[in-house]
Structures are given as structure tokens and as C-alpha cells.
Structure 1
């Protein structure tokens, strides 16, 4: 087949035997166009700039688009790959750039991103590409055009279309396309300051006792894992990152877990596989923390709003790094293994240790050798309840990072009104003013979708630059001397890649119309009025059922807090367990949340069973006297001391009393004998129920039913016995008196009063009658 060039691209010269078929196809296309409803563009072949955008069978990805900032004399170069995702062979492939109208506002950019421009304002020439695209094959893409070709003579942001033509089934048509942007900034003196808050968070991987439930974290911190790449992004910054002060938002629970892994750990009895990776990751993070600012997140990055809504503000407080009440941390045993509770008495803080902060700050300080910021909070979801805000403020939080949805009118803060953007938004709360920082939603969305955006990482970066370019153009039109600030906050578990994330961060230092600043710098920057804070709807928070389970566990924890010395130290491991079960990371994992809360409840409930009464072997006690004490044995199988109360009650409540027993302190892992004063009012057996509880009233162990026997005379029995003896004595005395009186009067006593005759007093028998003889 022969071809000849045309002004609009490439058009085939069809041999005679096939002309009829081609003509028929053209007729069909024309008729189809005539039958289309008004306002509907037809898919024209070749280079028609009015063609309806269609991705076609050829995918376009860019690895290079230079320059990042276009000037009137610039030469624009594209390098990438063309891939045939269809079923047909494509030949005679050509590529060109065509641009749309200059975008002058963020709203115009948003509209173009939703419906990409057809690029009909100007077109550069087509350039043939080398190679044939068989199904599934790829060929290199290389293209060059000048700014003059595209008519770019004015600063601003221009939508451009990479238009790919090719021959498929004998017809030349658009077989692929890719929309992106060019940023022109030749004369502007305006600058936009950009700060990045870079999250280092991960869902908890330990159960309520501190044991690892899986080894997934090893994969995340190993080569090409999510957290490994998160550090790669920072390590690849130019000049070691010193010119781009990216602020690290670090979860202390994550660092604590990695530290435990580096020391050696087990998973379900097997040796963990991430020991070396954990040590390396910690060392790398330590090096980065020496360059970049570090913000300590709440321990386990708890879902503060969900906990507050569930009536659990104390859980939020115990997770905060900026208050001594922030106790959540995992204790270790003498061998350095995680345990639920400390096995030794806490040591006094060192003289140089900051006792005004919480455990989370100390975890990061020890592991990373830095002093993290503890006064900045970044609530999950980007919004905050008024009562949550009060809890955060009381816990040492003085500044917040929030999303645009947290404000009644965030458009002014992010430049949507056409005026300068300012990330700093003061908010009045009660009698004072709170500094908040607005995370730019559009930039956050760009970062969030970077891993799945068509066209490759370079296209993602261009969209990022386009957003900032529009802002800078707006600023230049209003007042070039005005300061403009923007905060970029990726999702908490962003799938980062240095190919785009590092490039975006580096742009803030390399492009003349951008400036790299830290989050702390923003708090001293220009101010915007974004209206009052808007209460969150609660959508996406942790489920109510799981939070109810957390509340039950917290009730047990609080009950024990009244029974132990220094609850913040003794119960720190349980505070950590509660925080891990309440992590915002479980928002997208309902089954994981259910598993962790169930385990938490079982672990806390098990505390009650480790303190209790030791029942006698046969269940019977014998008392030798009416005031003999009842001797009981109480066990404490916990590794910390507990104060308990003992209460005894009889089933009948008659004949037996036990005096109140003062609270007793039970030493760790001990058996303690307790003597209970008793009072027995009658002999016999009694059923006594003994109950052990915390000072707050929570039951410990199970109540014990005892059988108490007494052979001693109680007061009632003694009175009855003495009364009976006295009565018998009186009766005997009465009979004796009557007997004496009768003797004196010589009266025979009544038969019933006569005594039995003795042997000497036997009566004389009457004389025997004389014998008689019978007559002869």
C-alpha cells in the first residue's frame, strides 16, 4: 500500500480493487454523522481536532515531558510508550500535540479535568513513530514540538492532547490519546509556597497483649513495600531533602512495632521475618528525621471523633503525645519482649526527660533521636467534632490540619474564589482562637490517585503543576506581591512512588514560581477566612458495635485504675491495646476492627479472673469460739499490686455476723491471708458468700460460697442453757424444802415424795400362822 502526506496527517492511497469498499465506508460515516442528534460530535478519522475524545485501543504513557515550565522559546519533548491493548494490528502510527484554551482559574481546571479539552485551539504537526503495533505490543513514543507551534505566548496553564493516529483495518483513525497540561511561566514574579505533610502510618499488627498477630508489617518495610517506598520518596529528594522540608507525620505505635521487630520477635510461635528490614527501616527513618520536621500523631492514630461520639474522650487523651496523661505505650519484660503489663516497678524519669509530654513523644524521641512536635493534630477524615476539639485542646493540641470539608467556606483558603490561597485559617473556639491549616483537596486527590492515573507518573506530576500553576496565575492577576500558601496532604496509607512523589516535592524547590516550606512555616503565613468549622457527619467512622465493645473494655480498665498505684504506668499497656483497637486504620477494615475489639474485650475481662478468693478444699470452715476470726486466702496473679475490698454475707442473716474489712493491698503474684472478725450467736452451720471487688466496686474473680460451722455457745444458746440449769436447781430446792417440813411435822410424805427404802429400812414380815392339823 502506498501513502502520501497530507496537511492533516497521513492518508492512505487505496489500490483500485479496494476503493469501492472504502467509498462505502465513507458514505456510511457521512450518513451516520447526519443522523446524529444535534450537539453530538462524530468520531472523525485521522487528525480532525473536533473528533470526540476516545482512548482507542492504544494506551499512551509518558516517562518524560519537558520542560516543566514552558517559555515562548521552549521546545516541548515527549518520551513514553505506546501500547496496543486491542485485537487489531496498527501501522503507520503518528503523534502530535494539540492544545485547548488557556485556563485562568481553579474551577476551569477542575472542569477540564472532568471533561478534557479536545485541543482545538492550536495543533502542532504530526510526527511519525517507528514500529508496528501488534496486539499486546508496545513501541517507544518520541515527539518534539515548539511553544510557537502550539501558540503558547502567555503565562498560564494549557490543556493539551497527545493525539495518536494509525491505520487499522485499512483505515486511518485516532487510535489513542492522552490529556495532560503545560504550564507557561515566563514573566511572572509571583510565587506559591507549598508545604507537604507526609504520613507514616500503618494499621496495628499486635493484639491486646502486645503479641504480633501477623507478619504483614515485614512486607511493608521490606524492599518495594509501601512503607519502604514512603522513605524512598524522601531519600531521593535533591540535596538530601534539605531544600524541601517535608514534614513527617509519624504514628508512635508504628515506630514502636518496628522497634520491637528489630529486637527480635515471633508470630504465632515462629520467628518473625522482618528483623533485618526493621532495623534498616528504623535507621533510614532516623536519618530522615534529622533533616525533616517530625510531628507525633496520637498513638495508633486513633479515630478521635468516633471515640468522642462513643463517650470515650479519655481514650483520646491517653493516646495524645503532648500531655503527661498520654500514657498509651507497650511495656517490655526483662528480656525486652512486649508484655501487657510492666513486670518491674517504674523508674523515676531522668532529669533531662520531658515529663510534660506523653508516651508517644518519648517513643519517637528514643527511636529517632528527635524532639517531635506534639501540638499539631491531624484528625482522621479531615474533620473534627466540637467536643473532640475540646478534648484535643485539653491534651496539648494547639494547631490542627483539616480538610476542606471541615469549613463552611473553604473556597477562599484554596484559591477557588480567584484570589490568593492561604492555608492558615484562624478559628474562634470559645474564648480563644485556634490556628488550623487547610489541606488542599484537589492536590490531595491528585496524590491519592497517582498510583492508578492513566498515562504514568509524569502525567500525575503535570496535573499537580497545573493546579499550582493556575493558583500562581491567579495571584499574578490580583497582586504579585501577595504571599500565597498551599498545604499538600496525601491519604494516610498513600501508595507512594518516587517517580511521581519525589518529583512533585522537588518541583517546589526547582521551579522559579514555587517555594518549598514546612508545615510550621504555614502557621506563620498569610491568613484566610474559611468560615466556621462544620461538624462531621460521622460517615466512615468506626462502627458503633465495635465501639460498644471498646467501651466495655474501657470500663474494666477504669475500674482497675482505682485499684492500682500509678495507673498511667501500670495500665499503659492496656491503654495502648485500647488505642490500637480504636485506630482510624480500621475504618476501611470492618472485619479487622471486629477481631481487634473482641480480643481487647477478652483480654481486659481476663484481668478480673486473675484476682480472687481461694476456696477451702472441702468448702467448710470451723470456728472454735463465738468471736473466732474467719481466715481467708486471697490470690493476686497479676504482675502489679492491687487494692481490693472483701465483703461477706450469710444466706439467712441470722446467727452469724462478719465485721467490715478495710481495703487490702495485694502484692504482685502473691497469696495473702485475710482474717475477718466474726460474731456467732448460736452454734450450727451457716452458708456464707464471700465477694472480692475493686474499690470502685468491680467484681474480681468469682464469688465463693463457704460453709461455716460453729460448736461454740453463742449468747442465745448460753442464755438458754443457763436458764434451764437455774430452773432445775429451783425445782430441786423446792422438793428438798417440802421434804424437810414434812419430817418436822411427822407427816408421811406423799408417795411421790417418799424415797425408796434402803436395805436396813426393810419392813418386818408378819408372823407366820401356826400350822393346822387335819382331824384324824
Structure 2
């Protein structure tokens, strides 16, 4: 087994002869103070078998007279017993810029600038065992005399198989400011805290699973998301964390609290939903609230396939934002409301359904002019759609800009989260989410050494920014925005602490997202085209497009489509949620259900065929009487078209558009004309005013015994001819009578063969004698 010596540079150690080992131990006893182990300042060895976890690292801001205290756990993940465990802190050179901090995080400092003394830890580390870590050192021992950020190494030494060596280490940072009062350089920090979740309802509004009950119950992800805010000091009043809330999530939880079913069984989250809503309502009274688009739709994906109207119908800041799940009088979901939503009022006439959902459930007036596109970057045509829908401020990631470093302090200048952007539709305010801080938050639960080390990295990032500001112009304002991932796995043990730091540390200030838009401005260049390949795509988007085509076809057939089709708009938005980016199977399932549901609307309106398939017409202008069914819960306007297979002898006149009342049967009278008697094959087709077919074509047999115009002309003509012939014979007969002429042979009567002109028959011939 290769060893890494406590004082070496990470090189393998050749096994020494027994007498050499004894000599080393004796020299160590003479040269090293009791209770310590020896380690070279320049040791950059990789982490050994002992894993270091830190739960306490105080103070968060070091001053020259501070005593630094580290508490945690040492765990032996190796196969050997380790004794004589000692720990010390050793620091590297002060970091003066964000780039230096980034470089150090990639290749941690060896901590050779200064070292505090080793301190012995109690206990023996058997394989798999843990012992407590507790260590103290003074700022003077570490030589911390200047403001700034210092890389620090927690060095763990121990004895294995008689050899003293470094058995573990952990890199972190200390942030120092000379005094806790009189700070002139401050960094203002805003937090955007997401409350989003994938949709749990199908296209009809029914719950497809009970997973949301788990998320909002004790220790669920959304439960902990509220715990973080509830644990802030002074009820969070000093830390205005801005909440980004999905109206579809609040709508689902509201439905759960009223009682719900999943696959016919009673849902298990009724109590948890009511409690969660009450807690969120209390928090919304303290913290600013931004209304996200309904179901947090993937705006860029929808825009890319020509569906900007779907984006608009999800927006909370425009009356065109219609997406919402209606319910009946019992609170059960329905696809079509029986009346206008009760939350609609004159005060909310300029807002969308999403804003009304939050206003009613949380008793707040949320901001509707801010959008936070999934992925952080946004297409230019998506920006135009958002602005037309009432958005005038965007929250974007660093990579959405050509020169984002200028906004987050990577160029040596002060950080300024606000970046104005010029668009063809006018000036747009954007705020830049600091990617390094967002990454720290995202990885806090899995950070080596524990979440307290993640918090220390968070403070280090803000610390170098503050140091940069002090070096440039202490009086200049500096702003930073922290945005975790949408479904961050948070915990109060670190997330609350990070938020509270902005108010507790004298060199930081807590502000809201709204404050950033009134703060300093940075020039980060133009917006760049997104390259995020994670957006929704493929067959799922094609299915959404097909469903939307049906929805738009019906929009021309109904009164007040924004109300009548609100449930279907909500279904489209839920299937288009950005939450499906990481769940392709779930996306495929929901889009297939959406397409089936919307396409099925066409089959719920159609013609009722006669029992034997035949209609009889008693006259040439007798109307054709048809029955049309509407099984939909809303009225529709339809057109009816009839055509014969041959196109001869039968004609149906155009029929005015017909209004079909909800869930009804309507008799439609079609004027017809028949030019001849007989049987005709007629095809009847029902369609929306826009031309979309409803139901299936119906083939009818129409029988007529009435004389049509042609038949009548032939019959009358034949009768007239017979009459003329009879009249001719009568005239001839009368004329001969008057002249006293014997009755002549009729011109049209043949004389017997052999008769002469007088009418006598010649004598038969005689036979000559032989």
C-alpha cells in the first residue's frame, strides 16, 4: 500500500526498515510537542481515508481578534485503524478577485502561507467509525490581518501501522473584514426562491398520482422549501426573499385541500394541502411574490414550433392569459366552467387567470410583469411574445448575455445585476442570476464536507466581490441575484443560513428582486441565442401542436373561448411544462393524453343517422329533416353540408350556421329539390365555422316518389301527343261524314292482300287438263 506522508508532497513512501521506524518515532517524540502530529506546510495530498464533515465554522466574518472554531465529524472510510488523530488549520494567500477564487476552487491551495498549531482529537478511528471533530485557532495564529477571502485547509493527521501521515483534509474559506461596524463597501444580495412542481393532473383535470401529497407533507421537498423561509430570523422581515410561484401548483394544492381522488381512491394529502396553503399564505404576506406562467410552460420550446399563443394563454399579466382548471359546484374539476370564474372582478380585468389564482388563494397581489424563462436564456421571438403579454422584466442566467462577466464582477468592476436590453418592441429590463452562487446552492446537499462548507463558499464568493468593490470605489452600490434551480432540494440548515447571512453580516445587505431593477446598471452586451438542448422537443411538441389546432378550431365555434376553453388551455399548459424537460417518459404520456382528449372533442358533435339509413321525400320540394347531437358541455356553432354521390336529380340548399346548445339534440331542416323520382345517396358533413370536421361523415339514402320537373315534362308531352292523334282521327271522320263519302280505308289500315281497287276479290285460277 502506498502512503502519503504527513510532511511529504503526496509521493509514495518506500517501506522503511524496523530500526528506521523506531528512529522516526523517537525523533518525533523529541521534536514535536505532545498532542500534535507533524505535517509539512506544502502537502497537497489528496483526501485520505478520513472524511471531514463540518457542522460549525464560526465566525462567519473573521476579525483580527476572532477565535475560529470548527466542529464536525471525522469518519474512517478506510480499512486500517487510525490513532493519535490531530487537526490543524493552515491557510493560503489572500484571494483578491472572483477569478482567483474560481481557480482556487478548481485546484485548492496547499495552505502554506500560515499554519495554526495541531490539536489532538479524542478517540481512535476504527474502520467505519467516527469521532467528533473540535478545533480552535485564532486569527493571529493564521496571520489574518487584512480584509478579504482566504483559502483554508483542514489538515487531519494520524498514525497508521506505526506511521504518522496525513489521513484526511478539507478545503474551505475564511472571510475577513477588519471590523463589524463602519463597513463602507457592501454587496446587496437578492434571492429568488422557486415554488414549482411538475403537474400532477391529466388533460381533464383529474389527479393521475398522489406524489404531490408526499412533496408537501413533513420533510417533503415543498415542505422544506417553506421551512427555509419560516426559519428566517424575525419572521423573514429583514430578508425579503422573492417567491416565484407557479399558479398551477397552488391550484392543485387548493383542489387537494378541498378533497380529491386519485384513480377512484380518496387522496391522502387533504390535511397536508390545507396546512401547506396556510403556511404559504402567511409567507406571502411577508415576502414579495412573482406569478410564473401557468404550469411554468417551456416558452422557448413552444415558440420554436409556432405556438406563441400557448405561451400567451399561460401568462398572468394579460387578459389573454386564460389557462386555469375550472371546477363544478362540488369543487370537482371540469373542462368547461358553468359560469365565469368567481375570482374575476373589475380589479383583475387586466390580469390573467394565473394572477387571480394566486390572489384568491394567497390573498396577495403578485407581480405579473416578471418572467423567469426555463434554462435561463431566451429566444428573441419569445421575448416579443412575453412583452406583448405584459412582461417588462426578465430574470436570466449569465450565459444569456454576450458579456455576462461585466454584470457579476468578473472584470474587476462592481457587480450590477440589472442589465437593460434594447428590443424591437422597446427597452426591456433584465436581471442577471449569478451562476456561481446558483451552483453553490444547487450542490449544497452534496458538497464535500457538508452544507456548512457550501455556505462558506457562498460567503467567499460574496466576500471577493466586496473586496473588489472596496479596492475600486467603496461608495459604489453593488448588487447580486441568487437563483437556485427550480426544484432545489433545500434544507433550513444551510439555505436559511445563506439567506440570513445577507442581513446578519455587516458587509452584506438583503434586498428584493424588485430592488435590483432600481439599482446600478451593467452593460453585459446583447442577448445571445440559447443553446440549451434540454428544452422540450420531438414527438411531444408535435402532439401539443395537433391538440392546439383542435382547440383553435373550436375557438371559432364557441362564445367567449377564453372562458369556455380555459380548462383545455390549462391542459395544454400542463403538458408544456418545463418540468418535463428532465422526464421524457412523463412528457410523452401527458402529451399523448392531451392529444387524445382534444381530438376527442370532434367526436362529441355529429349527425344522428336514421335507424334504417333511409329518408323518404313526399314531394319535389320536401325538406330533409336531420338530427344533430352536441354532447359537449358548451354550445357550439356548426355548419352542415350535403352532397349527392352522382350530383344529378337531387339538390340541397345551403343551410345557415346552427347553434347547438350544450348536451342537446337539435333538429335541422334542410331545403331540398328533386328533379326526378328515385333513390339518391347523400353524404352529410358537419363542421366548425373554420372548416374542421365534427364527428364522421354520414351516408344517407334519400328516396322520392314525387314527379320531378323532367319526369313531369315527359309525361305531359306524351299525353299531349296522344291527344293530338286522337283529335286528328276525329276531324277526318267528321269531314267524310259531311261529304257523304263511304267509309274509306283508313290510311293507316292495310288492305287485305289481293284486293283490287273496287274491293272485289279476283277468281281463283283454274287448272288446265293434262
- Same fold, TM-score > 0.5, yes or no: yes
- What's the CA shift for 1:88? 1.5
CA shift in 2, pair 1:694/1:350, >3 Å:
closer
Q: Residues 112-162 of structure 1: CA distance to partner in whole angstroms, max 9, x if unpaired?
A: 111111111111111110011111111100000011111100010000010
Greater CA deviation, 726-735 or 671-680? 726-735
Aligned to 2:350: 356
Instruction: Please give the secondary structure, in 1, of the residue aligned with 2:529.
Output: coil
1:361-400 alignment to 2 at 5 Å? 361-400=355-394
Indicate yes or no: 2:287 matched with 1:295. no
- What's the CA shift for 1:246? 0.2
Distance of 1:620 and 1:513 partners within structure 2: 89
Distance of 2:17 and 2:515 partners within structure 1: 73
Indicate yes or no: 2:536 matched with 1:539. no
Which of the residues 311, 331, 342 maps onto 1:336? 331
Q: Residues 714-750 of structure 1: CA distance to partner in whole angstroms, max 9, x if unpaired?
A: 1111001111111111122222233334444433343
Conservation of the 8 A alpha-carbon contact between 2:7 and 2:41: no
Distance of 2:261 and 2:61 partners within structure 1: 52
Distance of 2:252 and 2:123 partners within structure 1: 52
Distance of 1:668 and 1:19 partners within structure 2: 100
Aligned to 1:747: 742
Instruction: Please give the secondary structure, in 2, of the residue aligned with 1:198.
Output: strand
- What's the CA shift for 1:411? 0.6
Greater CA deviation, 85-94 or 69-78? 85-94
Instruction: Please give the secondary structure, in 2, of the residue aligned with 1:592.
Output: helix
Indicate yes or no: 2:571 matched with 1:577. yes
Distance of 1:650 and 1:23 partners within structure 2: 113
- What's the CA shift for 1:527? 0.6
- What's the CA shift for 1:388? 0.5
Unaligned runs of 5+ in 2: 1-5, 9-15, 26-36, 751-770
1:236-255 alignment to 2 at 5 Å? 236-255=231-250
Which of the residues 300, 319, 324 maps onto 1:324? 319
CA shift in 2, pair 1:383/1:668, >3 Å:
same
Distance of 1:717 and 1:152 partners within structure 2: 116
Which of the residues 707, 712, 729 maps onto 1:735? 729
Conservation of the 8 A alpha-carbon contact between 1:349 and 1:355: no
Aligned to 2:626: 632
Distance of 1:7 and 1:137 partners within structure 2: 25
Conservation of the 8 A alpha-carbon contact between 2:7 and 2:39: no
Aligned to 2:656: 662
Distance of 1:17 and 1:104 partners within structure 2: 47
Indicate yes or no: 2:130 matched with 1:138. yes
Conservation of the 8 A alpha-carbon contact between 1:690 and 1:705: yes
Indicate yes or no: 2:118 matched with 1:121. no
Distance of 2:38 and 2:538 partners within structure 1: 58
Indicate yes or no: 2:702 matched with 1:714. no
Aligned to 2:492: 498
Distance of 1:345 and 1:297 partners within structure 2: 25
Q: Residues 320-346 of structure 1: CA distance to partner in whole angstroms, max 9, x if unpaired?
A: 00000000000001211011122x232
Indicate yes or no: 2:637 matched with 1:651. no
1:242-321 alignment to 2 at 5 Å? 242-321=237-316
Distance of 1:660 and 1:553 partners within structure 2: 30
Distance of 2:505 and 2:21 partners within structure 1: 54
- What's the CA shift for 1:751? 7.0
Conservation of the 8 A alpha-carbon contact between 2:344 and 2:356: no
CA shift in 2, pair 1:351/1:600, >3 Å:
closer
Instruction: Please give the secondary structure, in 2, of the residue aligned with 1:175.
Output: strand
Which of the residues 494, 516, 522 maps onto 1:522? 516
Distance of 2:242 and 2:24 partners within structure 1: 64
Distance of 2:340 and 2:521 partners within structure 1: 46
Conservation of the 8 A alpha-carbon contact between 1:739 and 1:753: no
CA shift in 2, pair 1:621/1:400, >3 Å:
same
Aligned to 1:75: 67
Distance of 2:427 and 2:401 partners within structure 1: 15
- What's the CA shift for 1:633? 0.3
Instruction: Please give the secondary structure, in 2, of the residue aligned with 1:609.
Output: helix
Which of the residues 456, 467, 475 maps onto 2:469? 475
Aligned to 1:154: 146
- What's the CA shift for 1:374? 0.2
Instruction: Please give the secondary structure, in 1, of the residue aligned with 2:601.
Output: helix
Aligned to 2:12: none
Q: Residues 667-709 of structure 1: CA distance to partner in whole angstroms, max 9, x if unpaired?
A: 0010000000000000000000000000000000001000000
Conservation of the 8 A alpha-carbon contact between 1:612 and 1:636: yes
Aligned to 1:436: 430
Which of the residues 536, 547, 552 maps onto 1:558? 552
- What's the CA shift for 1:357? 0.3
Distance of 2:727 and 2:415 partners within structure 1: 117
Distance of 2:295 and 2:642 partners within structure 1: 43
Instruction: Please give the secondary structure, in 1, of the residue aligned with 2:382.
Output: helix
- What's the CA shift for 1:430? 2.2
Unaligned runs of 5+ in 1: 1-5, 9-15, 26-44, 756-776
Which of the residues 212, 219, 223 maps onto 2:218? 223
- What's the CA shift for 1:23? 8.5
Conservation of the 8 A alpha-carbon contact between 1:99 and 1:121: yes
**TM score, norm. by length of structure 1:** 0.91
Instruction: Please give the secondary structure, in 1, of the residue aligned with 2:595.
Output: helix
Q: Residues 280-335 of structure 1: CA distance to partner in whole angstroms, max 9, x if unpaired?
A: 00000000000000000000000001111110000000000000000000000121
Distance of 1:20 and 1:447 partners within structure 2: 49
Distance of 1:19 and 1:486 partners within structure 2: 61
Instruction: Please give the secondary structure, in 1, of the residue aligned with 2:633.
Output: coil
Distance of 1:507 and 1:149 partners within structure 2: 26
Conservation of the 8 A alpha-carbon contact between 2:7 and 2:43: no
Distance of 2:505 and 2:686 partners within structure 1: 71
Distance of 2:724 and 2:507 partners within structure 1: 123
Indicate yes or no: 2:667 matched with 1:673. yes
Indicate yes or no: 2:82 matched with 1:106. no
Q: Residues 217-243 of structure 1: CA distance to partner in whole angstroms, max 9, x if unpaired?
A: 010000000000000000000000000
- What's the CA shift for 1:52? 2.8
CA shift in 2, pair 1:434/1:751, >3 Å:
closer
Aligned to 1:12: none
